[in-house]
Amino acid sequence: MMRAEIVRLGLHKVDLKIVSDDEMQVLQWRRKLFRDEVLLNGKLQAYSAGLWGREQVYGLVFGRDLEGQGGEKVMFMIDPSSNDWNWSQDQVRGVRLEAKDGPIVAYGSLDPKSLEKPATFSDWMKKTMGMEW
């Protein structure tokens, strides 16, 4: 069973702590000027280069052997756009790490709850503006 939690969430960096079979690993995402990097325990696993339209979905395998067999496949997704209207929250909008059984950790715009449509007008006001009637 794999568990994960967000340790740091910023505009250009995200750190996740992943615990699997009593072993802890650190998954990091870093945005640099011309490339985004995904690191596992400080080692580069994937990157996306370019000025615009960089990759936002990465496939990773945890626990495979030296021959590349076995392990648990996960999908790491990130929404790097920031909240332009709210300068106090200078961080990425969404993070999600998902295995075949479902999300391990989900935050912000990539949380399945954020995709649910509000049933009533008061629910919409509460969700979009934080107001309650």
> For the segment 50-95, what is each residue's pLDDT rounded down to a tens digit?
888 888 999 998 878 888 788 889 999 999 876 556 555 678 889 9
Q: Could you tell me if residue 131 is inside a domain?
A: no
Number of domain units in the chain:
1
pLDDT score of 127: 66
Q: Could you tell me if residue 59 is inside a domain?
A: yes
Q: Could you tell me if residue 133 is inside a domain?
A: no
23 is written with which tokens? 């072993």
- Beta strands, E only, the chain: 2-9, 13-20, 23-31, 35-40, 43-49, 57-62, 72-82, 92-99, 102-108
Q: Could you tell me if residue 55 is inside a domain?
A: yes
CATH number of the domain encompassing residue 95: 2.40.128
pLDDT score of 89: 62
pLDDT score of 11: 85
Q: Could you tell me if residue 116 is inside a domain?
A: no
Q: Could you tell me if residue 14 is inside a domain?
A: yes
Domain that includes residue 20, residue range: 2-108
